[in-house]
Structure 1
């Protein structure tokens, strides 16, 4: 295998040209593909969301990859998006054993714990925020509040906005918006598990976008989700649900692991840090319940 080919594969990977990688490697006879080529092929297939094919490729080199943390990480990622969480957990645990402390590996392990943890049978805490008697969740006296708040959405409006966004909105969010459609919470900080390399220990939001089109800061408004994604170059993984004081940051509903009709996770995306994605909560309800005051 030539150094020129390896350099080309890496260049295509950096440019997100994953189909090119697959096409070139598949043209090489199977018996001539070594560990490195098959690793490139499996990674490219994962990036194309062809996770079953990726797993098949990685399993071809399982013996060679048993001591390679990157092999375990890559097959774990494919298992994760196939929702084979136990297989994914085992792979990421071995990756962590071979290369302790890798942030991405630890993040996937945390996601798997959240997805597989038994759900306690308790009354949903988010209902407290959607109860008309406790709308003190919202700070309607904030000067910018009126930029966010719309009239409660009708079912037709909800359906229309979902069609425009191409994503089904979480029930907990929809129920909340039916009582108070967008606004600025009193508690606007979501704590991170540990401080980032930049020293940030919490994500600050400016407001929560409501369901509608009329207000600029609503999901389908002129400054809403599509506007922020398209003008800011944010990843096409779902819906911007909160803006932030920094124009280079947003909080999004992430549908990558749930599908467009599933229950999305909540992530923070920082354009200023090369679009770094930080997972905040397993769902919108957990995100709302995790908001705190700065102090």
Structure 2
């Protein structure tokens, strides 16, 4: 059936019959659509200026798309017209790496780079004196693999009744870690795994992370409620009742990574973002604001840097 439909979709595209494409593909149940059909749907939604819906469709096939320059171009196109320029820039830069020299990609890169604000100066970052000694003992930029196995996070956690009830579990075994990673389809950062082997999930004493407003450059903060542990038995664990997979599937959070921290608002979360690193790489840490059309704010280049940057509210 799909083989017969694809030539029709191409013909409708050439005739600017984009509604016909949307209707035809949407008639097919989502679980039966393959990568090519989903891309046709996303392209048609872009052409109809329904960019948020387009992004949702493209993200549903992100695992295949991240190595496809056309997928990167199309999702970057949607982000651009949603004024989500940092995400658009990442997508078009990835497209440029996959297909160097393409003129349309270069044109968008020039347009976007004029719109993306410069990063705030380093002195605007949190004062290192405010960072807990247990974290700042690690050198800036040190690879996660350099974490000592006996690093002590004892004073990092606030073991309230709520934390013990909803977050904290027994340290995970290597078999449990492998099982959770298989379910999530992402390899967890080594620094995070080491932390969880000492204290598996919970509520940190320091829960605030400084972030600059992309327009004004003024410093603000995002706040987390807790860090999800490796397991399934607690409600707020990676594979638990209110864990990463549940929230991505039921609440529409992007599928590019793992929800690693809850926020006080149920309409926000902190995620590991694997778009640039690949599923087995070292992810960035981002804040996703569901209440603001899933706006994404980059927080830190690694989970280790994120933990190092947490301060008391």
| Fold equivalence (TM over 0.5) | yes
| Paired residues of 1:195 and 1:201 also in contact (CA < 8 A) | no
Q: 1:94: how far off?
A: 3.9
Partner of residue 79, structure 1:
93
Within the candidate set 251, 259, 264, 2:270 is matched to: 251
Q: Tell me the number of residue pairs that the alignment of Structure 1 and Structure 2 aligns.
A: 239
Distance 1:145 1:168 in 2: 25
Deviation per CA, 1:110-164: give whole Å up to 9, x if none. xxxxxxxxx97758799489723x4211112x34210211111000110111111
Bigger mean CA deviation after superposition, 258-267 or 48-57: 48-57
Q: Does 1:8 align with 2:23?
A: no
Partner of residue 26, structure 1:
none
Distance 2:300 2:227 in 1: 15
Q: 1:80: how far off?
A: 2.8
| Paired residues of 1:81 and 1:257 also in contact (CA < 8 A) | no
Partner of residue 306, structure 2:
287
Within the candidate set 159, 163, 184, 1:145 is matched to: 163
Distance 1:92 1:212 in 2: 42
| Paired residues of 1:126 and 1:288 also in contact (CA < 8 A) | no
| Paired residues of 1:241 and 1:253 also in contact (CA < 8 A) | yes
Q: Does 1:207 align with 2:230?
A: no
Q: Does 1:162 align with 2:178?
A: no
Partner secondary structure for residue 149 of structure 1: coil
Partner of residue 115, structure 1:
none
| Paired residues of 1:126 and 1:285 also in contact (CA < 8 A) | no
Distance 1:150 1:183 in 2: 9
Q: 1:6: how far off?
A: 5.8
Partner of residue 197, structure 2:
178
Could you list the runs of 5+ residues in structure 1 that have no partner in the other structure? 24-35, 37-42, 58-72, 108-118
Matched ranges for 1:50-199 at <5 A: 51-52=68-69, 77-80=91-94, 94-95=110-111, 100-102=114-116, 127=147, 131-132=151-152, 134-140=153-159, 142-146=160-164, 147-194=166-213
TM-score (norm 1): 0.64
Partner of residue 19, structure 1:
40
Deviation per CA, 1:177-225: give whole Å up to 9, x if none. 001111111110111123779x982111000000011111111111211
Partner secondary structure for residue 201 of structure 1: strand
Q: Does 1:216 align with 2:235?
A: yes
Distance 2:101 2:234 in 1: 45
Distance 2:247 2:90 in 1: 32
Q: 1:172: how far off?
A: 0.8
- Change over 3 Å in CA distance of 1:96–1:214 after alignment to 2: closer
Within the candidate set 273, 277, 281, 2:292 is matched to: 273
Distance 2:242 2:112 in 1: 41
- Change over 3 Å in CA distance of 1:196–1:135 after alignment to 2: farther
Deviation per CA, 1:77-135: give whole Å up to 9, x if none. 33335657x989x98884367xx4445xx58xxxxxxxxxxx97758799489723x42
Partner of residue 133, structure 2:
none
Q: Where has structure 1 moved over 6 Å in runs of 4 or more? A: 54-57, 73-76, 90-93, 123-126
Q: 1:8: how far off?
A: 3.4
Kindly report the root-mean-square deviation, in angstroms, between the aligned alpha carbons of the 2 structures.
4.5
| Paired residues of 1:150 and 1:181 also in contact (CA < 8 A) | yes
TM-score (norm 2): 0.61
